[in-house]
C-alpha cells in the first residue's frame, strides 16, 4: 500500500461519475493533484480566479451558478461540478458561484482536467453533456413563461374531498370552511366526480332540491382530468375547449389537486393561448386561414425564446389540434350532426405531438360502422372540407394520401382492426412504412371510445409478436445515423449540391422508430416519444440509461434542428431539415456526434434484442 494515499478522497472520487470510468491509477493520480478548500456562506461567492481555471468538485455543501445579472443557471450539490464551462468553451468566465450552504470543494487543475479529457472519451463526453445541459437550462430557466410551465408549478397542493354519499349540506359546509369553489368526490378510493359551485347553482338551487340529498345526484360525473406534468397551457386549452373551470389533477389514478381557472389566470396569458383563443372564436374559414398565418411567427418566437424542442412540438401540435377541431365544428354546423359516431384521428408527427415547421397532415376517420351511400356522402363532404382547409392553413396535403378525405382511410372500427391485423401479420415493406405512420395515432375529435377500442386491439396483436417486431426492427435499421468510419459526419449530396446532414430523417425519426418498436412490443399506449420512454422505464422494458440518453439525444438534435430553422427563417432562406456541420462550433459538432452515437448504439441494442443479430 502506498502510505500517503488519502483513502477518503480516493473513495469519494472512485464512486464519482465520470471519474468512476477512469483507471484506478489515473484516479489516484487525480487525487494526488487535487487541492481542497472550504467555502462558507459568509464569503457569499466562490472567488473564481479566471486566470487559473480549474474544475470545482463539490464534496459537501451546495452552490448556485448564476449569471452576472444574477439569473440562476444551475444548482450544484455534493458530487457535482462547476467551473468547467470556461475550460470547455475557452471563454472568459463571467458566471458567478453563490454559496448556498457551507461545504468542502476539491479543485482539479485545468491541466489535469484537459489531460483526462484527452485520454478518456467518456470523461470528455460527460462534461460536454453537462455543459450542453447548462446552456439549455440557461435558456429555459430564463424563459420560464406560461407556455412551457408545468401544472405542478402553479397548482395548489391542498385538495378538498368528500365521499359520494355525503349530503349536499355537508359538502357546502366543507367548501365554505376550506374556502374552495369545488370538491373532489370519491367513491371507493377513486375519483367519481366533482362538485362545483356551478353544480350547486344549476342543479340544486334551480331544481329546488334540499340539502339532504347525496352529492352523487348533483355532481359532475366523470369529469375531465389532467396529469401533473402537463403544460399549464394544455390545461388552459382543455378548460376553454370544454368550457369548464375546474380540472382535477390526477397522479397514478388518484386526484392530488384541483386546478381552477383562477390558478391559470394568475399565471399571465401568453401568445399560444391567445392564438388558440382566436382560433376558437373564428366563425368562418377565411378568418381561420388568416389566424393560422401567425403560426410560423409563434414557432420562431418559441425558438427564439429557446424553449425545449419537446415543448415546442407539443405547443404547435396543440394549435393544429385546435384548428382541426374548429374546422370540423364549423363544417358540422353546416352539415348537421353526423349520422353515426366517429373519431377524427391524427397520425405521424401530429399524433406524436412533435410537429415542427412544414409538417404535412396525416389524418383519418374511424366510423362506428360501415356506411351507406348517404352516410358516405356526409363524411366525404366533412373530410374534404377539413383537409383542404388545413392545407390552406399551412398544413400541406399528405403526399402519401394518408388523409381523412381519402375513402381508403374512412373505415369502420372493425375495418381498421382488420387493416392493422393485416399489416401486423404481413409485414411487407409497404405495411412497415405505414406502421411508422399509423401506429403513432391520437384521437383529435369525436368519440374517443372508438379510438380506445382500436388502440387496445392493435396493441394486443403487436405485443409480444416477435415476428412483426423483428420485421419492424429490420426496417428501422435500414437507415442509420450519418456517422462514417472514424466518427466523421456523412454529408448528403444532391448532384453537386451539398445538402448537409438531415437532422430529421437521420436523427429524430430514427429515435422515434426505435422507441416505437420498444413501445409496440411492450403494448404501451403512449405515442409521444418522450412519454413512451417514460412509460418504458416505468415498466422496466428498457435500460434506464439507454432511455435517458435517447431522450437527451432526441432533444439535442431536435433543438439543433429548430435553431437551424430559426436561423434559416431569419435569413429568409428556405427552411429545411439539413444542417451543415462546417457551420457548427467544434463543441456542437462533438455533441451532435455523441447524439448520433447514442442512436447508433440503440440501433445495435434493438438489433440484438428484437432481431437476434449483432
Residue ranges in contact with other proteins by CB under 8 A:
3-9, 12, 31-40, 42-43, 59-61, 101-104, 107, 418, 421-422, 425-431, 433, 464-471, 474-475, 478-480, 543, 545-546, 601, 604-605, 608-609, 612-614
Q: Which residues contact 126 (CB under 8 A, 6 or more apart)?
A: 17, 18
Closest CB to other proteins among residues 196, 549: 549
Residue 151 vs residues 156, 232, 258, 263, 535: alpha-carbon distances, Å: 10, 5, 11, 10, 20
Q: Shortest distance, CB of residue 545 to other proteins, whole angstroms?
A: 7
Q: Shortest distance, CB of residue 512 to other proteins, whole angstroms?
A: 13
In terms of Cα–Cα distance, which of 33, 93, 83, 94 is closest to 58?
83
Which residue is associated with the grid cell 382530468? 225
Closest CB to other proteins among residues 3, 25: 3
Q: Which residues contact 326 (CB under 8 A, 6 or more apart)?
A: 279, 280, 282, 288
Q: Shortest distance, CB of residue 44 to other proteins, whole angstroms?
A: 11
Report H helices in 439-484. Answer: 448-462, 466-476
| Radius of gyration in angstroms for the set of CA atoms belonging to the chain, rounded to a whole number | 28
- Helix or strand run (H / E) with residue 560: helix 544-570
Q: Shortest distance, CB of residue 66 to other proteins, whole angstroms?
A: 21
**What long-range pairs does 67-71 form, CB within 8 A, spacing at least 24?**
67/94, 67/95, 67/96, 67/138, 68/94, 68/95, 68/96, 71/138, 71/141, 71/142
Residue 126 vs residues 23, 56, 92, 554: alpha-carbon distances, Å: 16, 15, 21, 17
Closest CB to other proteins among residues 5, 297: 5
362 vs 348: CA distance, rounded Å:
6
Q: Give the CA angle between residues 461, 522, 232 to the nearest 5°.
A: 115
Closest CB to other proteins among residues 20, 91: 20
Closest CB to other proteins among residues 47, 187: 47
Q: Shortest distance, CB of residue 76 to other proteins, whole angstroms?
A: 14
Instruction: Please say whether the beta carbons of 234 and 226 come within 8 A.
Output: yes
Q: Which residues contact 444 (CB under 8 A, 6 or more apart)?
A: 321, 324, 325, 344, 345, 346, 350, 363
**SS3 labels along 140-164:** HHHCCCHHHCEHHHCCCCCCCEEEC
Instruction: Please say whether the beta carbons of 450 and 342 come within 8 A.
Output: yes
Instruction: Please say whether the beta carbons of 269 and 278 come within 8 A.
Output: no
Closest CB to other proteins among residues 89, 464: 464
Burial class (CB in 10 A: 0-12, 13-18, 19+), 423: buried
Closest CB to other proteins among residues 37, 274: 37
Closest CB to other proteins among residues 42, 284: 42
In terms of Cα–Cα distance, which of 140, 161, 500 is closest to 305?
140
Q: Shortest distance, CB of residue 106 to other proteins, whole angstroms?
A: 9
176 vs 159: CA distance, rounded Å:
14
Q: Shortest distance, CB of residue 150 to other proteins, whole angstroms?
A: 31
Q: Shortest distance, CB of residue 530 to other proteins, whole angstroms?
A: 20
Closest CB to other proteins among residues 538, 608: 608
Instruction: Please say whether the beta carbons of 238 and 224 come within 8 A.
Output: yes
Task: Fill in the DSSP letter of residue 580.
Answer: -
Q: Shortest distance, CB of residue 484 to other proteins, whole angstroms?
A: 11
Q: Shortest distance, CB of residue 103 to other proteins, whole angstroms?
A: 6
Q: Shortest distance, CB of residue 313 to other proteins, whole angstroms?
A: 22
319 vs 231: CA distance, rounded Å:
14
Closest CB to other proteins among residues 107, 142: 107
Closest CB to other proteins among residues 120, 167: 120
**SS3 labels along 323-342:** HHHHHHHHHHHHHCCCCCCE
Q: Shortest distance, CB of residue 341 to other proteins, whole angstroms?
A: 20
Closest CB to other proteins among residues 492, 534: 492
Amino acid at each position: 500500500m502506498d502510505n500517503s494515499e488519502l483513502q477518503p478522497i480516493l473513495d469519494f472520487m472512485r464512486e464519482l461519475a465520470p471519474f468512476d470510468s477512469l483507471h484506478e491509477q489515473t484516479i489516484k493520480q487525480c487525487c494526488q493533484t487535487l487541492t481542497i478548500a472550504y467555502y462558507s456562506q459568509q464569503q457569499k461567492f466562490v472567488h473564481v480566479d479566471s486566470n487559473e481555471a480549474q474544475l470545482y468538485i463539490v464534496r459537501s455543501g451546495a452552490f448556485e451558478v448564476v449569471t452576472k445579472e444574477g439569473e440562476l443557471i444551475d444548482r450544484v450539490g455534493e458530487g457535482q461540478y462547476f467551473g468547467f464551462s470556461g475550460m470547455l468553451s475557452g471563454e472568459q468566465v463571467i458566471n458567478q458561484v453563490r454559496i448556498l450552504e457551507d461545504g468542502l470543494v476539491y479543485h482539479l487543475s485545468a491541466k489535469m482536467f484537459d489531460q483526462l479529457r484527452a485520454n478518456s472519451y467518456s470523461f470528455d463526453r460527460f462534461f460536454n453533456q453537462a455543459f450542453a445541459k447548462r446552456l439549455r437550462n440557461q435558456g429555459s430557466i430564463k424563459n420560464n413563461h406560461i407556455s412551457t410551465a408545468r401544472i405542478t408549478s402553479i397548482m395548489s397542493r391542498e385538495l378538498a374531498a368528500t365521499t359520494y354519499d355525503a349530503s349536499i349540506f355537508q359538502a357546502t359546509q366543507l367548501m365554505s370552511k376550506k374556502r374552495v369553489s369545488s370538491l373532489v368526490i370519491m367513491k371507493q378510493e377513486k375519483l367519481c366526480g366533482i362538485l362545483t359551485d356551478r353544480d350547486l347553482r344549476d342543479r340544486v338551487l334551480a331544481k329546488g332540491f334540499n340539502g339532504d340529498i347525496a352529492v352523487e345526484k348533483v355532481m359532475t360525473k366523470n369529469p375531465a382530468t389532467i396529469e401533473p406534468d402537463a403544460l399549464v397551457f394544455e390545461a388552459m386549452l382543455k378548460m376553454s375547449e370544454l368550457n369548464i373551470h375546474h380540472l382535477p389533477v390526477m397522479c397514478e389514478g388518484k386526484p392530488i389537486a384541483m386546478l381552477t381557472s383562477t390558478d391559470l389566470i394568475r399565471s399571465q396569458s401568453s401568445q399560444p393561448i391567445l392564438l388558440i383563443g382566436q382560433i376558437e372564436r373564428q366563425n368562418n374559414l377565411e378568418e381561420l386561414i388568416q389566424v393560422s398565418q401567425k403560426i410560423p411567427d409563434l414557432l420562431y418566437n418559441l425558438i427564439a425564446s429557446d424553449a425545449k424542442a419537446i415543448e415546442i412540438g407539443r405547443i404547435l401540435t396543440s394549435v393544429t389540434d385546435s384548428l382541426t377541431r374548429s374546422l370540423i365544428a364549423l363544417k358540422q354546423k353546416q352539415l348537421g350532426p353526423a349520422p353515426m359516431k366517429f373519431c377524427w384521428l391524427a397520425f405521424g408527427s401530429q399524433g406524436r405531438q412533435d410537429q415542427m415547421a412544414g409538417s404535412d397532415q396525416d389524418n383519418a376517420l374511424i366510423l362506428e360502422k360501415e356506411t351507406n351511400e348517404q352516410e358516405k356522402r356526409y363524411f366525404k363532404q366533412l373530410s374534404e372540407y377539413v383537409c383542404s382547409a388545413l392545407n390552406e392553413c399551412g398544413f400541406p396535403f399528405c403526399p402519401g394520401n394518408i388523409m381523412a378525405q381519402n375513402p381508403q382511410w374512412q373505415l369502420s372500427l372493425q375495418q381498421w382492426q382488420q387493416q392493422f391485423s393485416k399489416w401486423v401479420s404481413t409485414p411487407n415493406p409497404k405495411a412497415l412504412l405505414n406502421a411508422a405512420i399509423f401506429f403513432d395515432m391520437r384521437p383529435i375529435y369525436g368519440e374517443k371510445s372508438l379510438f380506445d377500442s382500436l388502440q387496445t386491439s392493435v396493441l394486443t396483436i403487436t405485443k409480444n409478436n416477435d415476428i412483426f417486431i423483428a420485421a419492424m426492427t429490420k426496417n428501422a435499421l435500414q437507415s442509420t445515423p450519418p456517422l462514417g468510419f472514424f466518427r466523421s459526419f456523412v454529408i448528403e449530396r444532391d448532384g453537386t449540391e451539398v445538402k448537409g446532414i438531415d437532422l430529421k430523417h437521420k436523427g429524430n425519426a430514427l429515435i422515434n422508430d426505435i422507441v416505437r418498436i420498444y413501445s409496440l412490443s411492450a403494448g404501451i399506449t403512449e405515442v409521444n416519444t418522450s412519454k413512451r420512454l417514460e412509460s418504458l422505464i416505468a415498466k422496466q422494458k428498457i435500460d434506464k440509461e439507454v432511455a435517458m440518453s435517447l431522450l437527451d439525444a432526441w432533444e439535442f438534435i431536435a433543438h439543433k434542428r429548430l435553431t437551424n430553422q430559426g436561423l434559416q427563417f431569419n435569413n429568409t432562406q428556405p427552411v429545411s431539415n439539413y444542417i451543415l456541420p462546417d457551420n457548427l462550433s467544434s463543441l456542437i459538432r462533438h455533441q451532435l456526434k455523441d447524439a448520433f452515437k447514442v442512436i447508433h448504439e440503440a440501433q445495435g441494442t434493438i438489433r440484438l434484442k428484437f432481431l437476434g443479430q449483432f
